[in-house]
Structure 1
Amino acid sequence: MKLIFAGTPEFAVPALDALHAAGHEILAVLTQPDRPAGRGQKLTASPVAARAEALGLPVHKFLKLDPDARAVLSALEPEIMVVVAYGLILPQAALDIPQHGCLNIHASLLPRWRGAAPIARAVEAGDPETGVTIMQMEAGLDTGPMLLIEKIAIDATTTAASLHDQLCAIGGRLIVDALTRIEAGNLPALAQPAEGVTYAKKLSKEEARIDWTQPAEVIARRIRAFNPAPVAWCELGSTGAGERIRFWNARALAVPSAAVQPGTVLEVDSHGLHLATIDGVLVITELQKPGGKALPASLVCRDWKLAGQRFS
């Protein structure tokens, strides 16, 4: 099919690759303008822009889809538009440009987790499963009819980072299947149910600080949900001026709570750093000290005198 692809982050790259490999004619790639990145804050192209340029595809970096931008898209006469985490709201006038409308690859089982951060929120909430929904786009926020769905399990080892990689691969495969079936006239749409709607609000740095008043399981899920960003953190020491330590991975132990304050170091063993919580034990399996890299906690803490100290 003759299509326009709209996407920006790494999550969208496998879909672009899959569509290109399947032989679809990609008339243009839309992506966010270059942004400052890294310590030097150098202007950097988005992952989708970099991949599209490597594939020799024309790239447009519109600030907004105003009438001038829409005129450019209309002149291409696309049959369909595929949208994956583009970052701009498509007005109805833009949705109406392609002959078959716009399809979105959404990383949840709609209508659960509409919105900006469905992967992380599913992990944080302790959902037993999530997946990818191919959706026909409309003006509402992730409210359109569903075309294809594939589910995947979430367990106590799942991080947002690992789930991201699984879901973007599924999305690339499903969107190719969707276009094949649309061409054949064999892809019925199913309206989203009215019940079960939840919204996945954007992650913030403020919520990444560990709340030691929460149970071990809740803290462990939040740590896994905030990997790779914004990364959960706390301070070593109770004064509020200690070292800021980032926790990248964790699991909860169903054992009686220790008679010490939450955040207190209980032990370090080959499994990681054991910390007291209000209801049990939190095992930090991967952490990062200031100026260092994220490493297995058992390795980082091996020569670090932490016994009896407390994270706050």
Structure 2
Amino acid sequence: MQHPLKNYVFFGSSSFSELVLEKLFTKGFPPKLIVTTPPAIAGRKKQIKTTEAMKWASSHNIEVFHPTTLDLNAAETLKKNEAEVFIVAAYGKIVPKNILDLPRLRAFNIHPSMLPRYRGPSPIQSQILDDEDKPGVSIIKMDEQVDHGPILSQKELVIEEKNVQNYSYTTLGKTLFEIGSDLLVEGLDGLTKGLVKPVIQNETKATFTKKLDAPLALNPENAKDAWLKFLALGENVGVYILVNTKKGVQRLNVNRANYKDGTFIPLRVTPAGKKEMPYEDFLRGQH
């Protein structure tokens, strides 16, 4: 029997989506269509920014579909593809039930946590913030509720010293989605052969994350907490410290930092209205 990934539509947008696409492609599973979020206008120069998944599609001559909403028209377009299965990885939109129901095998999602823990929009960041000692990734058969469907397969990440303090948002995310790509291929193969069956999630163990889209203040005196916030949010949402100066309290965005001997050390910062600079240079300018 043919592997389901010989005929699939992929839903994804971010660099993690691109990673999954590349992994599946190298295993001999190119998608017949990539569904991604529409191009957006970004930055002061009002440049049009396309998703990483769209860039990957362009370089591999794969057709792209970027609907603003997954409405009835979008459903009709997707229905014409007659895909065996839909794969969702870091897409950025909720996929409605009428679209999930289109393929014969329905839709499967790569979710970067050990479900039912860390459901919701920020599982990677939240695991870092919690100093989670058992981060992992799950493959679920999607239903109409967010991150709720039965689990096809999942795997914990083995971390040295059992913590995530040496992982940033990007490095932990890449690791989990790489593992998830392999789990997806193995799990769907087993499902097709009748060797595995999705298992309903234990609702009593479910935990939920919230959207993290605003920069967070750091308190360097609480060094470990500051470091975890930097790892979780420094590369995407942003973090900052408040420093007393001759001109009063100034806000400095922290771009690079270190954590050593229980101390949080800012390395490179960006003061409001200025260019990035070494933190030590900023401090010298205040004396």
2:206 aligned residue: 197
Mean Cα displacement is larger for which, 125-134 or 185-194?
A: 185-194
C-alpha distance in 2, partners of 1:220/1:25?
39
C-alpha distance in 2, partners of 1:240/1:142?
46
The match for 2:242 among 219, 228, 235 is: 235
* Cα distance per residue 1:118-146 (max 9 Å; x no partner): 10110001111211101110011101111
2:252 touches 2:269 (CA, 8 Å); kept in 1?
no
Mean Cα displacement is larger for which, 234-243 or 46-55?
A: 234-243
2:268 aligned residue: 287
User: Relative to 1, partners in 2 of residues 1:293 and 1:182: Cα closer, same or farther, differing over 3 Å?
Assistant: farther
2:75 touches 2:99 (CA, 8 Å); kept in 1?
yes
TM-score (norm 2): 0.86
User: Relative to 1, partners in 2 of residues 1:78 and 1:110: Cα closer, same or farther, differing over 3 Å?
Assistant: same
TM-score (norm 1): 0.80
C-alpha distance in 1, partners of 2:275/2:172?
25
User: Relative to 1, partners in 2 of residues 1:123 and 1:60: Cα closer, same or farther, differing over 3 Å?
Assistant: same
* Cα distance per residue 1:103-130 (max 9 Å; x no partner): 0000111111111111011000111121
5+ residue gaps in structure 1?
A: 255-281, 295-299
Q: Which has the larger radius of gyration?
A: 1
How far off its partner does 1:292 sit? 4.3
User: Relative to 1, partners in 2 of residues 1:301 and 1:228: Cα closer, same or farther, differing over 3 Å?
Assistant: closer
SS in 2 for 1:43: strand
**RMSD of the alignment, in Å?**
2.5
C-alpha distance in 2, partners of 1:10/1:130?
20
The match for 1:68 among 62, 70, 73 is: 73
Mean Cα displacement is larger for which, 88-97 or 33-42?
A: 33-42
How far off its partner does 1:183 sit? 3.1
C-alpha distance in 2, partners of 1:86/1:304?
40
Structure number with higher helix proportion: 2
Identity %: 24
C-alpha distance in 1, partners of 2:32/2:7?
6
Mean Cα displacement is larger for which, 215-224 or 43-52?
A: 215-224
How far off its partner does 1:52 sit? 1.0
User: Relative to 1, partners in 2 of residues 1:243 and 1:201: Cα closer, same or farther, differing over 3 Å?
Assistant: closer
C-alpha distance in 2, partners of 1:26/1:52?
9
C-alpha distance in 1, partners of 2:179/2:266?
28
The match for 1:173 among 174, 178, 182 is: 182
The match for 2:149 among 137, 144, 152 is: 144
How far off its partner does 1:182 sit? 2.9
Mean Cα displacement is larger for which, 220-229 or 91-100?
A: 220-229
5+ residue gaps in structure 2?
A: 1-5
C-alpha distance in 1, partners of 2:285/2:227?
21
Count matched residues.
275
2:39 aligned residue: 34
